[in-house]
Amino acid sequence: MSQLERIRRPADLRRLTSPELEVLAKEIREFLVSSVSATGGHMGPNLGVVELTIALHRVFDSPVDRIVFDTGHQAYVHKLLTGRQDFSGLRRRGGMSGYPSRAESDHDIVENSHASTALSWADGIAKANELRGLDDRCVVAVIGDGALTGGMAWEALNNIADGQDRSLIIVVNDNGRSYAPTIGGLAHHLDALRTTPSYEKVLGWGKRTLQRSGTPGRVAFDALHGMKKGLKDVIAPQGLFEGLGIKYVGPVDGHDISAMEFALTRARAYGGPVIVHAITEKGRGYTPAEEDVRDRFHAVGVIHPETGLPVAPSRFGWTSVFAEEIVEIARRRSDVVALTAAMLAPVGLAPFAEEFPDRVFDVGIAEQHAVTSAAGMAFAGLHPVVALYATFLNRGYDQVLMDVALHRAGVTFVLDRAGLTGDDGASHNGMWDMALLRTVPGLRLAAPRDAETLRAELREAVAVEDGPTVVRYPKGAVPEEMPALARQGSVDVLARHAGTPRVLVVGVGAMTRTAVEVGAALDAQGIGSTVVDPRWVLPVAADLVDLAARHDLVVTVEDGLVTAGVGSALRDAVAEAGSDVPVRSHGIPLRFLEHASRGELVEDFHLRGQDIAREAAASVASLPTLPSRVDATEV
């Protein structure tokens, strides 16, 4: 058996010798490269925390000692050391989650993969331990991949510092990167800690110099004291954190198991809040990742393990269309600037940054700051485009509402990975945006159906200067173009079927193809329909309400929450207009979703064209026979 196969629980690590631990670390890296290459997943972050995680589980007694991972994609090694070594179904239905999961193990605490939350979790657990008299255990928060750039982490640090008797250890996994090189003042400070000679070494040099110079004792003492104070102010590594009242240990080589164990043991013995600063290398031990400057190995699809190249090249995606179009817009308009939150390349802003480096702002993992900073830019005469994953806009909702919309700021939000993303589970599905943003007065939201409508709607969005605009699109490849038959007012008509058009089928964004399938399936049953794409789905257009009132049934299909979503908004608008036409909405149910493929989730929620058409046909059959509300030639 290999060393890895012998590990069934963390306690098994404590019987291994130093040479055996080195073998184990090598085997873990080989396992990760082999397994994640076959399934896809977060490779780079996990290759970087192998020794660190081994040391954690040798020093602390999980699950009695609680280990909380921030940005939980760096928890694969933790899973291996806590008895989960079947990665064959990683991020697939029925297999292992790509993040910590309480359903999998008592060793997992926080399932949310949104960053910068672990310190608040750890603070809460430590306070509860104190109040319950559980003074025999520690709480450990592992934070890294740029998560300390998030303001919530600093709110937590401010409170953690107030609990001097609580045993709480913060391990800063400092690899200098999130999805890309970490930016900001904190990153520069940590850079200084990595590159500055140690405090003690510099002081020793100063003392020897003074002694050799024959400086009188008192003068030498005063000089050394001044040097010490100056060094502490300028380069002392503990300065940043001990200024908050938190003990600092480090920097420590995060790839040296013995050094990490020694630092963690010292931190545990302290009995109060301690920061252990570990220096690691993202992607360590895998040559393609180590040599990659674009951080492609943060998360990978199925790849060839020998080369790191994709097994199947990706088709041209939605993100690429945005990346091209925003550069074209910026060439024509010097007032257009771009912001993102530590995801410059994943959201498609890398080409923009290359051509307009002074007009792009990566704020770190700080979505709230990004939104309000954009409001300030709009006030000062710019048009900011804030590009985020849809799931991460949740974190900036208050700022969209109170800083952008209240002040009628011309800010455009571009939401990537909207709708069902599936593989990464509950926290990554971009399913909340339309229901949340529906409550923002004056906000306009577009959902393009193909590359051409994305380009057109993005241009329309940045032309709006009196309020927020949103353009949202899904993950993955762009489908074939779907030209409109006609435009009726602001609404694109995609299909008309013979006979009296009794059903209006409304497709939202990525679900327009499903809407067309619904229309075709109804036609096969002799039921006439009109299929439309509203283009701008919020607020509900008067043209769409008018169309709805001239049909016997309205069916909406969206890849957002069905509760309070676009279909619900249309239903309310139709009722307010005095029409009694029924509206049947289809979308994502109001619940957290386990990881599964998008196709599996679509089938689960009966969002396939055949499912929706079957229900629509039954609804039509139950309607009273009434004179047609509309002449087929009018639609």
pLDDT tens digits, one per residue of 109-136: 988 778 888 899 899 999 999 989 998 8
pLDDT for position 591 = 86
Of these residues, 395, 455, 496, 502, which one is catalytic?
395
- Average pLDDT, integer, range 345-352: 92
Looking at mean pLDDT, say which of 188-202, 225-239, 516-530 comes out highest.
516-530
Three-class SS of residue 252?
strand
Of these residues, 51, 261, 367, 558, which one is catalytic?
367
Using alpha carbons, list the distances in angstroms from residue 167 to 49, 209, 248, 266, 270: 23, 41, 14, 12, 8
Q: Which strands, in side-by-side order, build the sheet including 486-488?
A: 486-488, 491-496, 528-533, 501-507, 553-561, 583-588
Biggest CA-to-CA distance, the chain: 110
Alpha-helical runs (H) found in 467-552: 512-524, 542-549
What proportion of the chain, given as a percentage, has pLDDT over 90? 55
**Phi and psi torsions of 615, nearest 5°:** -70, -40
pLDDT for position 211 = 56
CATH architecture classification, 486-634: 3-Layer(aba) Sandwich (3.40)
- Average pLDDT, integer, range 364-384: 94
Residues of the binding site: 73, 113-115, 145-147, 175, 286, 367
Looking at mean pLDDT, say which of 94-98, 291-295, 501-505 comes out highest.
501-505
Length of the chain: 635
Looking at mean pLDDT, say which of 194-208, 366-380, 492-506 comes out highest.
366-380
pLDDT for position 379 = 95
- pLDDT (tens digit, 9 = 90+) per residue, 583-632? 999 999 998 888 888 888 888 889 999 999 999 999 988 887 655 555 54
Confidence band, pLDDT 50/70/90 cuts, at residue 233: very low
69-73, 152-156, 292-296, 545-549, range with the lowest pLDDT: 292-296
- Average pLDDT, integer, range 519-544: 94
- Average pLDDT, integer, range 484-502: 90
Note whether 419 and 560 are within 8 A (CB): yes
Residue 395 annotated as catalytic: yes
Confidence band, pLDDT 50/70/90 cuts, at residue 432: very high
**Phi and psi torsions of 22, nearest 5°:** -65, -40
Question: Is the pTM here over 0.95, yes or no?
Answer: no
Residue 282 annotated as catalytic: yes
- All CATH 3.40.50.970 domain ranges in the chain, comma separated: 4-180+245-290, 318-472
Using alpha carbons, list the distances in angstroms from residue 535 to 352, 446, 457: 26, 6, 8
- Average pLDDT, integer, range 70-82: 89
CATH architecture classification, 318-472: 3-Layer(aba) Sandwich (3.40)
Of these residues, 58, 66, 166, 282, which one is catalytic?
282
Residues of the binding site for thiamine diphosphate: 73, 113-115, 146-147, 175, 286, 367
Q: Which CATH superfamily is domain 4-180+245-290 in?
A: Thiamin diphosphate (ThDP)-binding fold, Pyr/PP domains (3.40.50.970)
User: Strands, DSSP E only, in 345-481?
Assistant: 360-362, 383-389, 412-416, 444-446, 469-472
Compute the distance between CA of residue 589 and CA of residue 569 in angstroms, rounded to an integer: 16
Residue 550 C-alpha from the chain's centroid: 42
pLDDT for position 228 = 44
If one counts every other C-beta atom within 10 angstroms of the C-beta of residue 631, the result is 10
Note whether 284 and 290 are within 8 A (CB): yes
If one counts every other C-beta atom within 10 angstroms of the C-beta of residue 477, the result is 11
- pLDDT (tens digit, 9 = 90+) per residue, 252-284? 899 999 999 999 999 999 988 999 999 888 888
- pLDDT (tens digit, 9 = 90+) per residue, 168-202? 999 998 886 544 454 455 555 555 554 455 444 44
Nearest alpha carbon to residue 585 among 541, 543, 630, 548: 548
Residues of the binding site for Mg(2+): 145, 175
pLDDT for position 234 = 42
- All CATH 3.40.50.920 domain ranges in the chain, comma separated: 486-634
